[in-house]
A and B are shown apart, each in its own frame.
Chain A
């Protein structure tokens, strides 16, 4: 009988990796999502709905399909990937970076949606006021729009963090299931469930997954509430 609450090395590495991938994913997605959210909230232009549709694609596409597309693009023999490999010697697919990229792609639409909505809620009149006081478009965005949209931006960050924790389909196709390199909690869980006699390991990972997701959501709720109070 193994010890129920002692984490094995594989489990520990999956937990650590999950956390690292999710954090990097959220950190990298955030600035792009803020820019895109602002752009979609404030600008009207031809082909806007086409761009929106494209951004939201990973939301409805089966993650496995997203992973496959990534592989076709960035795989060693992929459209872009073979150039990276031949010219720069960079290999992305089936590495840690692939896990981060897969997470970023699937969580990007969620982050953009939350951020865009919160920017839309900010009266553009405040930006106009800032401009008449001498601020550039960028300065008025940073000093006025961004702080007013902060609750939405935080929830965008947390959503992409949480989505990354749960990412499975795209990762397993594009990054593989390599222990210590790309095997995050969901992938490790998938492995353990398939193997006979690993129920306790699966159960431990399950607990951690639930705990992580719950903490992320609670933290975001707390921050948003605090901000609402402040404003």
Chain B
């Protein structure tokens, strides 16, 4: 069953939007540069703008169908929407903001329980505060909580990171992942920041000039040449899910393992105390520029992570070159044209991917 399926058209002056989207479960990202039509799309989905033409189904309910003259207003759509600026009601405290939607949900139809949500988003100490007394990250959490307490069938988030500084972004991501897992609510997250988006999901829709350029797994998208152009400017990033295996306190390292791959892959990361416990799942991001390629393993070197793999694809684009290497999972690596020629890199070639423990960034 689709959580959402839609084909919507809308023109505003010079801008025209013609977008088909559908997705099933989990977290889906919508990525595109500013002016791509991301916010317009959100408004059409949530019911704040009317399409000129098209349809929208949420689960199996038709919310919009211009051919059958169906148009459900925002309040009937059961779509939770987290606005970019939060839009918390300034005359209500946090508790009242959170409970705003409660009046509109029939008894017993409440999907998410208040106390459970307050605990999950750690809002206990904020309940009696007014929105203006909250920090940016706290506001964001309250806005997310308020949307969730309307018992939505899906949750839309417009640029959830843009109003937060880097440190707070890292803090909000785990909450979003927890929400998705715990309440099993499909989420559509819009962002123009690729690394942030990738730390949430690898399922992406790529938008440009009001059209969908492609959708699917991030690494599959990269393999399609025209997608790379859209994504490159936004900061390409490898994001891999790992499990914390052990802490090597003597050497100050955390051992991570990836079990999605056919055989277990172990990497090491500089140990950050209290960052995580053994058994935790975490997303690790790694910039393509921070990975080096060699043709053989190098024993006497300070780089601790050396993974063997096969080049799946070489992508050459103007003055940038990328290799996609399968080491059990796929890694995107940025290299110079000179190295590409000198090492005679081509698809099918066996290589070693080298990256320092310190180059690994964790989000969760």
Contact = CB atoms under 8 A, between A and B. Distances in A.
B175 interface: no
A129 B75 CA distance: 10
A135 interface: yes
Contacts of B80: 132
A126 B104 contact: no
A144 B104 contact: no
A144 B75 contact: no
B48 A128 contact: yes
- 6 cross-chain pairs, A with B, having the tightest CB-CB distances, nearest first: A134-B104, A133-B101, A129-B87, A131-B74, A132-B81, A147-B91
A133 B146 contact: yes
Nearest to B88: A129
Given A125-B85, A134-B105, 10 more contacts: A123-B87, A128-B74, A129-B87, A132-B46, A132-B150, A133-B146, A134-B104, A135-B104, A139-B104, A148-B89
Q: How large is the interface on B (under 10, 10 to 19, 20 to 34, 35 or more residues)?
A: 20 to 34
A100 B147 CA distance: 47
Contacts of A230: 91
Contacts of A126: 87, 89-90
A231 B105 contact: no
A130 interface: yes
A42 to B, nearest CB: 14
B48 A132 contact: yes
A130 B73 contact: no
Interface string B55-94: 0000000000000000001110101110101010111000
Interface in A115-158: 123, 125-126, 128-136, 139, 143-144, 147-148
Interface residues of A, number: 19
Nearest to A135: B75
Contacts of A131: 47-48, 73-75
Interface string B230-260: 0000000000000000000000000000000
B151 to A, nearest CB: 9
A37 B342 CA distance: 74
Contacts of B87: 123, 125-126, 128-129
Nearest to A148: B91
B100 to A, nearest CB: 5
Interface in A138-192: 139, 143-144, 147-148
Contact of B150 (A134, A136, A139, A143): A134
B89 A129 contact: yes
Contacts of B77: 132
Interface in B142-184: 146-147, 150
B150 A129 contact: no
Contacts of A231: 90-91
Q: Which of A123, A128, A130, A134 has the most CB of B within 10 A?
A: A134
8 contacts: A126-B89, A128-B48, A130-B100, A131-B74, A132-B77, A133-B75, A134-B75, A134-B103
Contacts of B81: 129, 132
A150 to B, nearest CB: 8
B90 A143 contact: no
B134 to A, nearest CB: 15
A132 B47 contact: yes
Given A128-B48, A131-B47, A136 B75 contact: yes
